[in-house]
Amino acid sequence: MKCQRCGSEPFERFRGGMYCRECFAVKYEGAVESAVRRYRMIGENERVLAAVSGGKDSVAMLSVLEKLKKRFRFEFSSLFIDLGIGDYTRNSKRIVEDICKKLDIELHVVRLCDYGFTIDDVSGKTCSVCGNVKRYIMNRFARENGFDSVATGHCAEDILSNFLKNLYSGNIQWSEKQRPRLDGYDRMVTKIRPLYEMGERENILYVLSRGLPFVEDECPHAPSTIWKEMVYDIERRIPGFKISVLRNLARERREDSAEYRYCRICGEITSSDICQFCRNVARFSRNQ
């Protein structure tokens, strides 16, 4: 079988058709572009900060944003957060630096150790502390440096597995925060997810089709994959489940009535007196 678009050597299937490397990449970029338009993810002249871990998803996002920036007329730079997870972080940082150099994208690096601790100092609940740290640093860095939005590489399976987890734990309202575009307010910067409708397998094939390097090792603290396996299982039984739930979730819009305050220590938005990030600093900092 040949590429159905140009007749060259086939590379992989994309949404029903067989394509060569170049045509696969073009079709993938077209699908991301459609989602960016569908959800009005990026406004004209917006300054976007792309958060890059070096994994397949965020590398795919970086490459597509680079292709789309002229058409949508936005500017963008990237951010890598050095979480201090031993060789995993050192390797990821090197790969992110290489990609940004190759694609000619400005890269900012924020080190968690400058706040007094690293993820390797955290005992128990590592992933939830890490999630809090990443959200805090992305938001604060973006705001303090004049960015309008933060883009992350969350893919379809990330959104859906989080949705199932939230449903299970009785925190369904948290899924509201995973919309393709979540407008900012007060000190919170807008969040966008350009790969909202893309599957992780599509992301990896795209990165390969464009010949970009990416971090292949898993974080040593990686959470269980059971929720993602459930998403794949449901999709196998009910084809079309993923896209249907994603589009329904994107339509869902509740009034944001939650009260918020400002952290007594750092001034960021929080639901209590001291924000979770400052609590983490107090708990894990080596300087205490």
Integer Cα distance of 277 and 129 in angstroms: 8
Termini Cα distance of the chain? 64
What binding mask, one character per residue, do residues 44-83 give for ligand FES by CB under 6 A, x or -? ---------------------------------------x
Out of 51, 151, 219, 246, name the contact with ligand FES by CB under 6 A: 219
> Where do runs of H (alpha helix) occur along 104-184?
126-144, 156-169
Integer Cα distance of 50 and 31 in angstroms: 19
Query: Which partner in ligand FES, ligand AMP, Zn ion, none is near 152 (CB below 5 to 8 A by kind)?
Result: ligand AMP
Out of 21, 56, 134, 191, name the contact with ligand AMP by CB under 6 A: 134
Out of 23, 41, 96, 130, name the contact with ligand FES by CB under 6 A: 130
119 binds ligand FES (CB under 6 A): yes
Out of 165, 221, 247, 279, name the contact with ligand FES by CB under 6 A: 221
CB within 8 Å of 51: residues ≥ 6 apart: 58, 78, 79, 81, 134, 138, 150, 151, 152, 153
83 binds ligand AMP (CB under 6 A): yes
Alpha carbon distances (Å) from 61 to 33, 104, 109, 242, 252: 11, 15, 18, 20, 24
Q: Which is nearer to ligand AMP, 3 or 48 (CB)?
A: 48
| Measured CA angle at 248 (ends 244, 254), to 5 deg | 165
- Residue closest to 155 by CA, chosen among 97, 190, 206, 212: 206
Q: Are 266 and 187 in contact (CB under 8 A)?
A: no
Out of 25, 42, 52, 250, name the contact with ligand AMP by CB under 6 A: 52
Q: Which is nearer to ligand FES, 128 or 173 (CB)?
A: 128
Q: Is 288 helix (H, G, I), strand (E, B) or coil?
A: coil
Q: Which helix (H) or strand (E) holds 236?
A: helix 226-237
The DSSP code sequence of 33-47 is HHHHHHTT-S-TT-E
Query: Which partner in Zn ion, ligand AMP, ligand FES, none is near 266 (CB below 5 to 8 A by kind)?
Result: Zn ion
Query: Which partner in Zn ion, ligand FES, ligand AMP, none is near 126 (CB below 5 to 8 A by kind)?
Result: ligand FES
Query: Which partner in Zn ion, ligand FES, ligand AMP, none is near 153 (CB below 5 to 8 A by kind)?
Result: ligand AMP
Residue 210 Cβ vs ligand FES, minimum distance, rounded to whole Å:
24
Q: In this chain, which stretch among 63-71, 153-161, 173-181, 259-267 interacts with ligand AMP, using CB under 6 A?
A: 153-161
Integer Cα distance of 46 and 74 in angstroms: 5
Instruction: Report the interface residues with ligand AMP, using CB under 6 A.
Output: 51-53, 57-58, 79-81, 83, 131, 134, 152-154, 158
Instruction: Report the interface residues with ligand FES, using CB under 6 A.
Output: 83, 119, 126-127, 130, 219, 221-222
